[in-house]
């Protein structure tokens, strides 16, 4: 842990709760491990502990207002200079504001502008922590890439026992170290990710497509950007918002995806092809809408280009990861695809009954080489993106692949 923290820049937000005094001990621990800590306090936090405490520990100024050195624009500068942002303790009020996108002080404004890993360690009364509003707000932050360090059960300020006590110092330090290690794994790398469905029109109003929403690709792109990569996301038709800090290129058909992918994948360090590409397209497209005639309609289909196979043929030193959405003989079919398309690794999932599509949970298994296999489990797609990039990073560092 010490090596991960040494030389790192930590943005520490301290909110107004009795656990604020623990933030001083946490700051001391970070400084002793070689981290550079910039502390931002809310006005309420100053009622529990003074800025002098933190400035004495860090030998750096403490910020509490948007108007502290406004000429330096602190809400932007502080998060751009930091490697990771941590809020400890995080109150229900600040969690709610972050979930709603409210930026009415230095801490919330800075976190809204942050494109670095963000960690929240809540501390509050157990009734507040269990309230549906707080649970919903924490879930919202999770979908936006925040990592949560769950509070612990213990003696609370109200002289009650319950879940709401700030997580132990070693758990928070571990979360920071993991975030820093993840960030360094792709720092400075060029990453290209494809995602979402293709649409193959047979008249101006109808098309062949599938149930993909691009949620997995969006989660991967967001996480890769948080790890310091320069990310290009090739994204098919979707109603989901694009992630911040990512170059997004839109496509509709498989042919459009092919052209965009071949142009942008050249020289990339990592390409993750998670797009759900239609294998066929209508052989002919009507320029005007086809109307009902009471007769059967036959649509002839032609094969689409195999975008992933072409990427495999041209990949050079690029680490290429494919996806296999299967309904049976999942790993057998995925391993055949892994070898035939010259991939370094492949993530396989079961899509029976449209399982895995949409914004909910998914289940993934990562395969590489002749026998390499890792269960990534079942989880929300943001969590799976973290696990998948962790596994890919380890393969890239070790030189392991199907092609090595």
Q: How far is residue 69's CA from residue 391's CA, in Å, rounded to a whole number? A: 42
Q: 175-210 as b/e, with b when 16 or more CB fall inside 10 Å? A: bbbbbbebbebbeebbbbbbbbbbbbbbbeeebbbb
Cβ atoms within 10 Å of 6's Cβ, excluding its own: 12
Nearest to 192 by CA among 279, 308, 76, 109: 308
* Angle at the Cα of 262 from the Cα atoms of 324 and 200, rounded to 5 degrees: 60
In 227-371 the beta strands, taken as DSSP E runs, fall at: 230-235, 247-250, 270-273, 280-282, 301-303, 319-326, 345-350, 361-368
CB within 8 Å of 310: residues ≥ 6 apart: 258, 261, 262
Query: Which residues on neighbouring strands pair with residue 348, listed in sequence order?
Result: 324, 365
Catalytic hit among 93, 125, 210, 304: 210
Active site annotation includes 210: yes
Token pair 């960030």 is at which residue? 183
Structure tokens at 86: 């941590």
Q: How far is residue 168's CA from residue 165's CA, in Å, rounded to a whole number? A: 9
Nearest to 302 by CA among 325, 320, 285: 285
* Angle at the Cα of 81 from the Cα atoms of 76 and 83, rounded to 5 degrees: 115
Query: Do 277 and 303 touch, CB atoms closer than 8 A?
Result: no
Which run of H or E residues covers position 12?
Answer: strand 9-14
Cβ atoms within 10 Å of 156's Cβ, excluding its own: 21
Query: Which residues on neighbouring strands pair with residue 319, listed in sequence order?
Result: 270
C-alpha pair distances (Å), 300 with each of 57, 208, 369 = 72, 12, 38
Catalytic residues: 210
């Amino acid at each position: 842990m010490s090596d991960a923290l040494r030389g790192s820049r930590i943005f520490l937000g301290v909110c107004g709760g009795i656990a604020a005094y623990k933030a001083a001990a946490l700051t001391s621990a970070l400084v002793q491990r070689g981290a550079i800590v910039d502390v931002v306090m809310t006005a309420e936090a100053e009622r529990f502990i003074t800025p002098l405490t933190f400035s004495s520990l860090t030998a750096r100024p403490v910020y509490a207002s948007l108007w502290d050195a406004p000429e330096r624009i602190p809400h932007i500068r502080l998060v751009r200079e930091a490697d990771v942002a941590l809020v400890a303790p995080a109150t229900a009020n600040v969690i709610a504001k972050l979930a709603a996108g409210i930026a009415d002080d230095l801490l919330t404004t800075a976190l809204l502008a942050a494109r670095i890993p963000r960690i929240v360690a809540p501390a509050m009364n157990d009734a507040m922590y269990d309230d549906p509003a707080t649970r919903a707000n924490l879930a919202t932050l999770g979908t936006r890439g925040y990592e949560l360090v769950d509070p612990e059960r213990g003696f609370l300020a109200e002289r009650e026992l319950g879940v709401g006590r700030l997580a132990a110092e070693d758990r928070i330090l571990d979360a920071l170290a993991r975030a820093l290690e993840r960030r360094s794994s792709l720092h400075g790398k060029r990453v290209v990710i494809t995602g979402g469905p293709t649409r193959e029109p047979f008249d101006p109003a109808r098309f062949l497509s599938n149930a993909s929403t691009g949620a997995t690709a969006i989660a991967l792109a967001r996480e890769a950007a948080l790890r310091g990569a320069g990310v290009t996301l090739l994204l098919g038709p979707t109603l989901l918002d694009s992630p911040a800090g990512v170059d997004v290129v839109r496509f509709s058909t498989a042919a459009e995806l092919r052209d965009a992918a071949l142009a942008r994948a050249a020289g990339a360090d990592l390409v993750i092809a998670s797009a759900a590409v239609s294998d066929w397209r209508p052989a002919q497209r009507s320029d005007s809408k086809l109307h009902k005639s009471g007769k059967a309609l036959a649509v002839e289909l032609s094969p689409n280009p195999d975008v992933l196979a072409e990427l495999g043929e041209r990949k050079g030193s690029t680490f290429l990861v494919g996806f296999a959405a299967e309904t049976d003989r999942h790993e057998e079919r995925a391993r055949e695809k892994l070898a035939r398309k010259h991939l370094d690794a492949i993530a396989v999932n079961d899509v029976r009954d449209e399982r895995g599509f949409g914004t909910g949970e998914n289940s993934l298994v990562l395969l590489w080489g002749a026998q390499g296999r890792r269960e990534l489990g079942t989880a929300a797609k943001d969590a799976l993106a973290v696990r998948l990039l962790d596994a890919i990073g380890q393969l890239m560092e070790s030189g392991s692949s199907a092609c090595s």
